[in-house]
Amino acid sequence: MGELVLVKLGGSLITDKARLETPRMDVIQRLASEVHSACEEQEGLSLVLGHGGGSFPHRPADKYGTGKGLKGAHACKGIALVQDAASRLNRIVVGALIEEDVNAISVQPSSCMVTENGAISSAFLEPIELALKVGVMPVPYGDVSLDRKIGCSIVSTERILDFIARKLKASRVVIAGIEEGVWEDYPARKKMAGQITPENYEEMIGHLHGSESVDVTGGMRHKVERAMSLARDTGIRTQIINGSKPGRLKDAILGKKVSGTLIRK
Ligand SMILES: Nc1ncnc2c1ncn2[C@@H]1O[C@H](COP(=O)(O)OP(=O)(O)OP(=O)(O)O)[C@@H](O)[C@H]1O
Ligand SMILES: [Mg+2]
C-alpha cells in the first residue's frame, strides 16, 4: 500500500447546519469529484474519507443529550434517532462518491467501535484495512456510540480519524470545513494561524471555540485538540482547510501547499 491519507469532510461543509437535514448536494458532488481526481492523479494513494454529521445527527443528539450518556426516559430513543440521521447523510455521501466513480463503502462507527467515557476504547478495523487493500474507499462518519461506562456517547469524526491514524499509521490528516483555517481572532476572521505547534498551542486555545451552529462535539476547539494530541504522540500532521474553495481539497489530499492551518509537532 502507498500513502494513507485520512480526510474529513466537515458537516458544516456538506450540509447547511442552520437548516435541519439539508445536504448541500452541489458541494458534495464537487468534493466527490475532487476525491476521484486526486486518486486518479496519485497512484497508490489510499484514502479513508470520513465526514461529519452537520444538520443531520447533531440535532437529535442535542435534544436527547446523547453525548452525555444514558440519562432520562428518552435516552434510547435518542440513540436510535442519532444513528438513523447520521447514516442517512452517510448514504447521500457514499451515493455521490459512487456517482463520481469512487468505489466507496460505508463504515458505521456505532457498529464497529465502542467508547469509554466518550473516548474510543475498542474498534474492529479489519474491514477498513481489507477495503484499503483491495482498493475500496472506507467512509466512516460522526455517529452515536455505545459506551462501556456511561451507556452511550457521540463519537466525532475527529476521534474516529485520530484512532484510525494511530492504528493504521496514516501519513497525514486533512480536515475540510467552511473556514479558511483556524482564526486567531474568531469571530472577526481577519488573522489566521498558519501553523499550530506545541509552542503556540496554549496561546491559540484561547481563540478556539465551539461551532456557530448546533454541534455536540465542540466545533473548532475539538478539532485542534485532537489534531495536537495526534501530532504530539505520533508526529502525524493535520491540515485544516476551506473545502468550499474549488480545487483545494484535491490539492490538500495530494499534499500540495494550500492555504489553511497546519497542526504539527
Ligand atoms: N478560532 C476559530 N477558527 C475557526 N473556526 C472557529 C474558531 N472557533 C470556533 N469556530 C467555529 O467552529 C466551526 C467548525 O466546527 P464545526 O463542528 O461547526 O464544523 P464541522 O466539524 O465541519 O461540522 P460537523 O461537526 O457537523 O462535522 C467553524 O465553522 C466556526 O463556526
Ligand atoms: Mg464538529
Cα–ligand 2 centroid distance for 3 (angstroms): 26
* pTM, to two decimals: 0.97
Q: Which residues line ligand 1 (CB under 6 A)?
A: 10-13, 52-54, 58, 142, 157, 177-179, 182-183, 186, 207-209, 211-213, 215, 217, 219-220
Per-residue confidence (pLDDT) for residue 257, from 0 to 100: 95
146-195 per-position pLDDT tens digit:
999 999 999 999 999 999 999 999 999 999 999 999 999 999 999 999 99
Closest CA to 159 of 172, 178, 140: 140
Beta bridge partners of 176: 9, 241
Q: SS3 string of 242-253?
A: ECCCCCHHHHHH
Query: What SS3 class is residue 147?
Result: strand
pLDDT band at 1 (very low <50, low <70, confident <90, very high): low
Neighbour-count burial of 135, counting CB atoms closer than 10 A to its CB (0-12 exposed, 13-18 middle, 19+ buried): exposed
Tally the residues of the chain. 265
* Residue 214 binned pLDDT confidence (cut-offs 50, 70, 90): confident
User: Mean pLDDT over all residues of the chain?
Assistant: 96
pLDDT at 112 over 70: yes
pLDDT at res. 49: 99
Which pLDDT value is given to residue 215? Answer: 83
Please tell me the predicted confidence (pLDDT) of residue 201.
96
Considering only residues 93 and 214, tell me which one the structure prediction assigns the higher pLDDT.
93
Alpha-carbon torsion (196, 199, 201, 204), positive or negative: negative
Grid cell for residue 217:
462535539
Locate cell 491514524: which residue? 165
Closest residue by Cα to residue 97 from 63, 141, 59 = 141
Query: Is the bond leading into 187 cis (omega within 30 degrees of zero)?
Result: yes
